[in-house]
Amino acid sequence: MSAHVEIPRPYESAPGRFTVDLVFPAASKRRAKQHHDVAWTLADVHGLEMSTPYKINPRWSIYEENWGNRERHGWQDMRRLRVDGPARALARYLVALERVLDEVESLATRAVRVFGAWTRSIPAEPFLEYEDAATMRTRTRVFRTDVLRALVHGLGAGKRPVGERDSSRPLWEQYGVVAEEVRSAVGGVDLERADDSAVRALMARMVPAVVAEAERLARAEAARVEAERLEAERVELFEQAHDAVLREADEVDAVRAEQDGQEGLFPVSVARPPLVVPPPMPVKPRRAPWPKPRPMAERFPDGATNVVISREQVGAFNEGLAGALWPAVSADRVRYAPAA
């Protein structure tokens, strides 16, 4: 998200048309109005409809307007802008708006750097003779505002010739020339380019909340119906298998009863308890297979399958543990000591 504009989720104001209420949170009202003008110009380029909301003065009353402090009823809120249009065109506009505002602000910052380089140059000395640090801070701030306004006014225009600086005038009076210089240095500002992936993501956000909730409920209902269908099929398979087992058992019992002369007895299946279908078993996550050991040829490239290390080598490798590795053996049990 851009730090120069707040973009809430667009809402559907009419069938096939969406509306968004932009907010420009700049600390300065003048800078917020310039961002408002950038968004207005860009909306005209993308073929959208835009309007500035009306803000009512909370201190207004008929008595204050006529006999009090002459309070106005309200005015246009330049910190807000309402834009509406088709879904895809509005999404492309919002994606391009963040980029254009960032590029315009970066151009204004670049122009301030040009102004700082000019103040440190020799041609600027006659104009800075009576300027101090406080006045230069003010002139720098005003120069950036003027350059930003010139950049905003030149957004809709195409490529224009870059004018030449007038050495007889200070640079803070030639903000238009500096604005054209920094614009031509970067090749201008593309007002229509928008990232397709960001446009698709924004269009996904533009679905109304009611529709999104309805789609979620529909997906949940479909999942529930599918789960019930699978459970019914599982129970039916258990019952079919159970009936087949019972029939086979009854046939075996009938043959045995005929051989024993007990045909009048009831079949054994009648006395069996009813079928109880067990609950479905949880599906365990499949573990990754164990890594296969390396072939013997890779572990022993020279063909040897074992390595013989003598007692002296073990003692050299473990000098401090010689007593623990090879404990002393008494003379009467030396014949049981292992050979070196």
Note the Cα 202 to chain centre separation in Å: 11
Rounded to 5 degrees, φ, ψ at 75 are -160, 175
Q: Give the pLDDT confidence of 12-52 residue by residue, as tens digits.
A: 888 778 888 888 888 888 888 888 888 888 888 888 888 88
DSSP per residue, 188-232: ---SS---HHHHHHHHHHTS-HHHHHHHHHHHHHHHHHHHHHHHH
DSSP code at position 17: E
pLDDT value, residue 340: 47
Query: Strand, helix or coil at 135?
Result: helix
Quick check: 76 pLDDT over 70?
Answer: yes
Q: Which residues contact 63 (CB under 8 A, 6 or more apart)?
A: none
**What's the pLDDT at 30?**
84
Question: Whole-number mean pLDDT of the chain?
Answer: 78
pLDDT tens per residue, range 118-142: 888 888 888 888 888 898 888 888 8
Domain locations in the chain?
11-205, 209-271
pLDDT at 251: 79
Rama region for 170: left / alpha / beta (φ>0; ψ in -120 to 50; rest): beta
* Least confidently predicted of 153-162, 218-227, 320-329: 320-329
Q: Average pLDDT for residues 289-311, to the nearest whole number? A: 67
Q: What is the mean pLDDT of residues 88-99?
A: 88
Higher model confidence: residue 276 or residue 134?
134
Residue 217: pLDDT band (50, 70, 90) is confident
Give the pLDDT of residue 225.
92
Q: Is the pLDDT of residue 244 over 80?
A: yes
User: Average pLDDT for residues 232-242, to the nearest whole number?
Assistant: 86
57 is written with which tokens? 């003065």
- Mean pLDDT value of segment 318-327: 59
Average pLDDT over residues 182-189: 78
Higher pLDDT, 266 or 151: 151
CA-based nearest residue to 99, from 189, 203, 196, 37? 189
Stronger pLDDT, 256 or 325, i.e. the higher one = 256
3, 101 contact by CB (below 8 A): no
Sequence-ordered alpha helix ranges (H) in 120-208: 133-153, 175-186, 196-205
Cβ contact 313:302 at 8 Å: no
CB of 26 closer than 8 Å to CB of 144: no
